[in-house]
Amino acid sequence: MVSDYYWIVVAGIGANDVANQFASSIGSKAINLKMAIFLSAILEFVGAAFLGGQVADTVRKKIVDFDVFIDNPELLMFGMLCALIGAGMWLMVASYLGWPVSTTHSIIGSIVGFSMATGDINAVHWDQVGMIVASWFISPILSGIAAAILFVIIRELVLKARDSVNRGFWMLPVFLFLVFATFFLYLVFKNNGYLAGVECMMYDKDLGYNVAKEPCIVKKWATSNPGAAVGITLAMAVGAAAICTAPIWWWAKTALAQYDADVLKSQKDAELTKVKDVEEGVSTSAVNGSSEKTTPSPGTITPPQHYSAHNAIQPIGVQKDGQLVDSEPTGVPGDGQLQKKKTRAEEMWESMPFNQDLHDDALQESKAAARIHDSTESFDGRTERFFAICQVLSACFDCVGHGSNDTANAVGPFAAILGIYSAGAAVAKVETPLYVLAFGGAGIAVGLALYGYRVIKAIGVKMVKITPSRGFCIELGAAWIIIIGSNLGIPLSTTHCQVGATVGVGLTETDSESGHMCTWKRAGVNWKLLIGVFGAWVLTLIFAGAVTALIFSFGAYAPNIIGGRVPVPVQ
């Protein structure tokens, strides 16, 4: 029964959390939605299963006190089931509306809801809830500052250089170092995995100093030995960058050669189209000027006076290239464009979000977004194509890191239910089976494919103008603040950091005409959309908690009060 509701949460993660993570990459057109779905299905599972997902805190941020339920573990199981439903419902609603919200905060809000519904207000650690509220402001501000500083530096050193492409290639080792350093630091300082049979020095709270313990928990070792952890990860980043510079250099050169070929082809196609239009215009004038009437050939239908390419009709039963034209074929009479009518299955497939142009759709839906894209500064296309390579690498590593932390921990309520069922008591930690993580990876891909496009359009296109160079800065800036905040004990949300970094880059935009910084009225940020997103963050705890409390109360109280017994201990 639990698995019937678990898919709601993992699909919601894909539709919202992962969609927000890939929004900058898809919004910049570095990758498309199909590629994002493929990468998320594989990399999220890899991160969750092999880089920290085997041991998950059953309650995120220890938001609930297990001692309250020690005499009633079945009630905790039911509460966690309600938390899955409540968090999943909110993630689906937010994704449908295009609001990027925190999966972690959704689960925490749900747990707070059923904990309060038990009647014991002490079941909730309210200090953690207060820190979550503070993170609504801390996360976006810090990540916005980091991303803005990085983008300004890259804009001045590379994007505005006379030969920006060559400057980018010379800076490639530095960019790779930043990507690898961010990834390694993220894994080390936020990795909940352990090394079985390995002993390492970790901090002991009772003794007050580091002692040798087994197994070695990566995150605790890094926190206990920050200097050594940073030194090792930076050395690994230097080595990885040195090894990968040559193949990435070749990849970027190949991509630029393909880009140049595509540009040349599009220019030739445009010239041929222009010549064809001129010839057709001359031919039409000659026909209109002639008083000679032509007789339609058998099997054709003369179009009416209001004829257009949209309402043109074709004869039925005429064969073209060995295919029979159906009753409502498309094409213009006599132009050789007869086509077989598409089946309903083909039409449904083409209407799927991953087959649509999300970028153009978003600009048509929002006039504010179209103004931002038209008025802000543009850079050399070849240079942006170079940065697309860097952004793809950054997005892949972010996906693995997201799986190792957020995805693995988001199964907290489900892990709690499994632990209680197996142990027969309320346990704080539990081994998460591999099939649960595999199911999570599949569910994330499905959620991203079906609903993620709404969040991607909102954050990747409508919020600010995102190009590969801007997206590269957004992803790195958000990741840096997540790493720093994690080690300082500040509960930062990945989603909030991503949105804050996006806005930070938008605030540094310059007007394409004047070259000056954008003013408040002509800013590079869609303020109306941003206000709605912030409101969604506030609603996350309220909505998820209220829905979960209602479901929990209905199931825990209603059937038993009639029988004269209340299962929930009232203090």
pLDDT computed for residue 499 by the predictor: 92
pLDDT computed for residue 55 by the predictor: 44
Decide if pLDDT at 3 tops 60.
Answer: no
317 domain residue, yes or no: no
Q: Which residues contact 212 (CB under 8 A, 6 or more apart)?
A: 199, 200, 201
Decide if pLDDT at 333 tops 60.
Answer: no
pLDDT computed for residue 39 by the predictor: 84
Decide if pLDDT at 272 tops 90.
Answer: no
Pairing of strands 55-57, 323-324: unpaired
Q: What is the pTM of this model?
A: 0.78
In the chain, % of residues over pLDDT 90: 22
Buried b (16+ CB within 10 A) or exposed e, 361-388: ebbeebeebeebbebbbebbeebbbbbb
pLDDT computed for residue 243 by the predictor: 95
Looking at 28-37, 120-129, 162-171, 546-555, which range is the least confident one?
Answer: 120-129
Q: Which residue has the tokens 């993620």?
A: 452
CA distance from start to end of the chain: 31
Most confident of 109-123, 239-253, 338-352, 419-433: 239-253
Decide if pLDDT at 568 tops 80.
Answer: no
The SS3 assignment for 557 reads coil
Across residues 422-441, what is the average pLDDT?
68
Mean pLDDT over each residue of the chain, to the nearest integer: 77
pLDDT computed for residue 241 by the predictor: 95
Alpha carbon distance 500, 529 (integer Å) = 13
pLDDT computed for residue 390 by the predictor: 92
Across residues 183-206, what is the average pLDDT?
80
pLDDT computed for residue 306 by the predictor: 39
Q: How confident is the model at residue 484 (pLDDT cuts 50, 70, 90)?
A: confident
- Tokens (6 digits) for 169: 């290639």
In the chain, % of residues over pLDDT 70: 73
How many Å is the Cα radius of gyration of the chain?
A: 28
Stronger pLDDT, 522 or 23, i.e. the higher one: 23
pLDDT computed for residue 155 by the predictor: 93
Q: How confident is the model at residue 254 (pLDDT cuts 50, 70, 90)?
A: very high
- The torsion angles phi and psi of 308, rounded to 5 degrees, stand at -150, 170
Across residues 152-175, what is the average pLDDT?
93
490 domain residue, yes or no: yes
263 domain residue, yes or no: no
377 domain residue, yes or no: yes
Q: How far is C-alpha 319 from the chain's CA centre?
A: 47
pLDDT computed for residue 62 by the predictor: 62
- Tokens (6 digits) for 107: 């689960």
Q: Is 410 exposed, middle or buried (0-12, 13-18, 19+ CB in 10 A)?
A: buried
Decide if pLDDT at 147 tops 90.
Answer: yes
pLDDT computed for residue 247 by the predictor: 95
pLDDT computed for residue 145 by the predictor: 94
73 domain residue, yes or no: yes
User: The dihedral of CA 525, 528, 529, 533: what is its sign?
Assistant: positive
Q: Which residue has the tokens 């950054």?
A: 394
Decide if pLDDT at 327 tops 50.
Answer: no
Alpha carbon distance 40, 396 (integer Å) = 8
Q: Which residues contact 133 (CB under 8 A, 6 or more apart)?
A: none
Decide if pLDDT at 248 tops 90.
Answer: yes
pLDDT computed for residue 339 by the predictor: 57
pLDDT computed for residue 430 by the predictor: 62
Q: Is 174 exposed, middle or buried (0-12, 13-18, 19+ CB in 10 A)?
A: exposed
Under a CB-based contact definition with an 8 Å cutoff, are residues 506 and 533 in contact? Answer: no
Stronger pLDDT, 66 or 133, i.e. the higher one: 133
Alpha carbon distance 223, 235 (integer Å) = 18
Most confident of 77-81, 175-179, 273-277, 364-368: 175-179
547 domain residue, yes or no: yes
Q: What is the pLDDT of residues 490-521, one digit of tens each?
A: 667 788 889 999 999 999 987 656 555 655 55
Instruction: State the total domains in the chain.
Output: 1
- Per the DSSP assignment, residues forming a β-bridge with 56 are 430
Q: What is the pLDDT of residues 443-454, one digit of tens each?
A: 777 777 777 888
Identity of the residue numbered 8: I
Q: What is the pLDDT of residues 64-110, one digit of tens each?
A: 766 677 777 778 788 888 888 888 888 888 888 888 888 778 888 88
Across residues 563-570, what is the average pLDDT?
50
pLDDT computed for residue 524 by the predictor: 83
Under a CB-based contact definition with an 8 Å cutoff, are residues 69 and 76 in contact? Answer: yes
Domain hosting 119: range is 1-161+373-557
pLDDT computed for residue 190 by the predictor: 72
Alpha carbon distance 277, 266 (integer Å) = 16
Q: Which residues contact 278 (CB under 8 A, 6 or more apart)?
A: none
Q: Which of 476, 490, 406, 419 minimizes the C-alpha distance to 179?
A: 476
184 domain residue, yes or no: no
544 domain residue, yes or no: yes
